[in-house]
Structure 1
Amino acid sequence: MVDVLRPAPAIASGIGEIFQILRDGHARTKAELAVLTGLARSTVALRVDALLAADLVRPAGEAVSTGGRPPARVAFNPRAGLVLAVDLGATHATVAVADLAAVILDARTRTIDIGDGPESLLDTILADAAELVDSTAAGLPLVGVGIGVPGPVEHSTGRPTNPPIMPGWDRFDVPAYVQKTFDVPVLVDNDVNILALGEQAMSWPQVEDLVFVKVSTGIGAGIIAGGQLQRGAQGSAGDMGHVQVPAGAGSTREPGDERDLEALASGSALAIALREEGLDVHGPSDVVDLVRAGNAAAIEATRQAGRDVGEVLATVVNLLNPSIIVLGGSIARAGEHLLAGVREVVYRRSIPLATQHLAIVQSQAGDRAAVLGAAIMVAREVLSPASVDRYVAAKAR
């Protein structure tokens, strides 16, 4: 929270910059905004009036009078528009409508097969989305669409790039296809990145350095450092599933085994390993069922998968020094066994300073973390200073 009684250094003076101060939801007077920005009250008044005309802020009562007429306060109006958020998984799709504060207003989930290809699947999802928007909108404009997909994405273009479990999606122009139905900005990202945003918002809002690791059909990580999601130069940051894993303590791997983390510790890899032991296992969901039923082989395999994940995360901890590592995905939800294996290795192999206050925890955000993260991603884009300046100018025409 900004201390309005203490003068702050002058910041950029555009309408969008003034709006950023109000995005925390706290109501402020024009005089308080003038103190925060270092601008003349007349300038602030003109820009606040423009935000009011664009419906991005709303009147929020009166402040206490210090003599004379009580000054009016204004606050962010999260119902100035709607955001559409989509979480695509290998076998499920969730579509949600959120306000500009990323509060989920309505959502629906259906079973899908990501292998059906982009056009057929997106047509189904967009039909669901149109119904949700129509039932929720109440005349409010849709301002953006955010989509998470289970594979690598070139974030600047929104095109999946060589996604291993998404046949037919490679280099498909997802934003352009979606914009045939919704003519608004469309942002596409890897599902683990939006999970990281959702988990931080729901469970760790004060934490600025967090790594979310999803262990499911595949393995990936979403990295938040300094409060910002880190995508890397081309959008491939966090692809820890393709890191080669050294054979650590307790490993039964043969010398020269150079499999990467995903080939060792993903739900698919565990299913293969347990099937080779004679168990009736066809996929990650069967692994989870066996672990929950107390099967000793499945529990030990999951514990060893945690150790292998820990071998890679120990390097991540030494390099990035996060405050929180969150484990999510179907295998992480099977119980404490994956978590125990990760902790065993990370705390042993990382430097003491990096682990002094490090917490390694299971995801608490639930099934809506991904659509929440997608809504946050869009809200940050469409409510950025430059975007707000353009929006207000267009509304004034």
Structure 2
Amino acid sequence: MTSSDLLFDSRPGANPDRSRLRNRKAVLGQINSAGQMGRAAIARSLGLSTQAVSNIIADLEAEGLLIERGAQSAGRGLPAVQYAVNPEGGFALGVEIRPDVLLTSLVDLGGRPRATRRKVLTDLAPDKIVNQVLQLRDQMLRECGVKPDRLLGAGIVMPGPFGATGLSGQASDLPGWQTIDVPALFGEALERAVVVSNDANAAAMAERFGAAQGLTDYAFLYFGAGLGLGLVHHGQLVEGTFGNAGEIGNLPVMTKHGLKPLEQMVSRVSAQSALAAHGPLDIDALDRLCDVADPDLMRWLGTACDALGQALGVIENLFDPQTVILGGAMPALILDHLAQGTPLPELSVSNRPDATLPRLQRGTSGRMTATFGAAALILNRAFTTQTTAL
């Protein structure tokens, strides 16, 4: 049985089996949160017997998921052996599928990216992309010297909306994917646990290790090909019935040409369209144009800031976040310009004198934030007793 089986076994079973799996995750999660802990401290924090915790730790140690990290004296008696999560004990595969590129990452159990890959896409057929994911996975495993049985699972993220909806057919969609059972497709190919999410949600969770560190309620505006919104409330993703909460790209905003969808005014596709005279533009090219204050780009940024200000008021008044964070596949210079140049609505619940955080700021996770967030979906399942808790 692999580490993936031991952490993600979802086969029907008796209550004792499910309780054992929950307790294993609880112990692993408690140690991960604390950095290192002894048996007695874990038992007290989880309300388990010391013997039960000892048995679980022995199993997790044998599987390579925990390692000893010295001993700590707590008064009388022998010093308590401390246990920590073994970063080499397991790995998660992160996969981000955009309309133009495939991004993958291999992240260890400590949350550190060990390898990344990027491949330009010319064919979005599901079977073609699955084959490319398998190839990139194998390359990264070989590069890092990781045995396949150490792979816990794969997080797959892509633009929403999921399923056939009234928003289908947008430029940021993945054509032909609306009716695909994505978890089954990748689960069968990878033979591992698979978690599927939209890119904005994954990016929002990845930013917990960046600008959102220590925050419980925030919004993350994600620049992929289009524009998505990840919402975190009390540390949990707000996903909606079908995983489509936060589809903000079609929010109507007022422009000099009347009402337009937000995504047509604020997105990478929007910027590339406004700068069509410059020819094809990737992220690095946009970065160079911003660095020299290209007039066409500056004009686009002006209209983008106006539109974003309108959307910001809607997000703040509906969600009441601690802050709104910008990030994703856009140059940092452009994100900084948007964060600093967007007019902050006065008629907002976030316009308050006791605010301690910027209402709008740039994230720190970088261009691959959703890819790393995809891997984090798997790591969080290893450390939480509720699979929907991230």
Point out where structure 2 has 5 or more consecutive residues left out of the alignment: 1-20
Q: Are the structure 2 counterparts of residues 371 and 280 from structure 1 closer, same or farther at C-alpha, using a change threshold of 3 Å?
A: closer
CA contact (8 A) 2:200 2:230 kept: yes
Within 5 A, what are the aligned runs for 1:18-37? 18-37=27-46
1:208 aligned to 2:216?
yes
1:60 aligned to 2:43?
no
The AA in structure 2 aligned to 1:268 is V
Within 5 A, what are the aligned runs for 1:112-191? 112-113=121-122, 115-139=123-147, 140-153=149-162, 162=168, 164=170, 165-191=173-199
Q: C-alpha root-mean-square deviation of aligned residues, in Å?
A: 3.0
Q: Are the structure 2 counterparts of residues 282 and 369 from structure 1 closer, same or farther at C-alpha, using a change threshold of 3 Å?
A: closer
Shift of 1:25: 4.8
TM-score after normalising by structure 1? 0.79
Q: Are the structure 2 counterparts of residues 298 and 58 from structure 1 closer, same or farther at C-alpha, using a change threshold of 3 Å?
A: closer
Q: Are the structure 2 counterparts of residues 303 and 331 from structure 1 closer, same or farther at C-alpha, using a change threshold of 3 Å?
A: farther
Q: Are the structure 2 counterparts of residues 329 and 39 from structure 1 closer, same or farther at C-alpha, using a change threshold of 3 Å?
A: closer
Within 5 A, what are the aligned runs for 1:238-317? 238-245=246-253, 247=254, 251-253=255-257, 257-272=258-273, 279-280=277-278, 290-317=289-316
Identity %: 23
The AA in structure 1 aligned to 2:312 is L
Within 5 A, what are the aligned runs for 1:12-51? 14-51=23-60
Q: Which residue of 2 aligns with 1:6?
A: none
Query: What is the SS of the residue equivalent to 1:294?
Result: coil
**1:191-219 deviation line (CA, Å, top 9, x unaligned):** 12111122222343212222111245321
**Structure 2 CA distance, aligned partners of 1:232 and 1:281?**
39
The AA in structure 1 aligned to 2:315 is V
**Structure 1 CA distance, aligned partners of 2:82 and 2:298?**
58
Query: What is the SS of the residue equivalent to 1:258?
Result: strand
**Structure 2 CA distance, aligned partners of 1:146 and 1:99?**
13
Shift of 1:190: 1.3
**Structure 2 CA distance, aligned partners of 1:70 and 1:298?**
63
CA contact (8 A) 1:83 1:145 kept: yes
Shift of 1:35: 2.5
What is the total number of aligned residue pairs between the two structures? 358
The AA in structure 1 aligned to 2:263 is E
Q: Are the structure 2 counterparts of residues 129 and 163 from structure 1 closer, same or farther at C-alpha, using a change threshold of 3 Å?
A: farther
Query: What is the SS of the residue equivalent to 2:260?
Result: coil
Q: Which residue of 1 aligns with 2:11?
A: none
Q: Are the structure 2 counterparts of residues 332 and 243 from structure 1 closer, same or farther at C-alpha, using a change threshold of 3 Å?
A: farther
Within 5 A, what are the aligned runs for 1:329-368? 329-330=328-329, 333-335=332-334, 336-342=336-342, 344=343, 346-351=344-349, 352-353=351-352, 356-359=355-358, 360-368=360-368
Q: Are the structure 2 counterparts of residues 70 and 274 from structure 1 closer, same or farther at C-alpha, using a change threshold of 3 Å?
A: closer
Q: Are the structure 2 counterparts of residues 369 and 41 from structure 1 closer, same or farther at C-alpha, using a change threshold of 3 Å?
A: same
Q: Are the structure 2 counterparts of residues 230 and 66 from structure 1 closer, same or farther at C-alpha, using a change threshold of 3 Å?
A: same
TM-score after normalising by structure 2? 0.81
**1:289-315 deviation line (CA, Å, top 9, x unaligned):** 654442334313312212112211212
Q: Are the structure 2 counterparts of residues 299 and 55 from structure 1 closer, same or farther at C-alpha, using a change threshold of 3 Å?
A: same
Point out where structure 1 has 5 or more consecutive residues left out of the alignment: 1-11, 388-397
**1:17-71 deviation line (CA, Å, top 9, x unaligned):** 2332112252222222232233433333333333333433222222216344333
Further displaced range: 283-292 or 257-266: 283-292
Further displaced range: 299-308 or 50-59: 50-59
The AA in structure 2 aligned to 1:252 is K
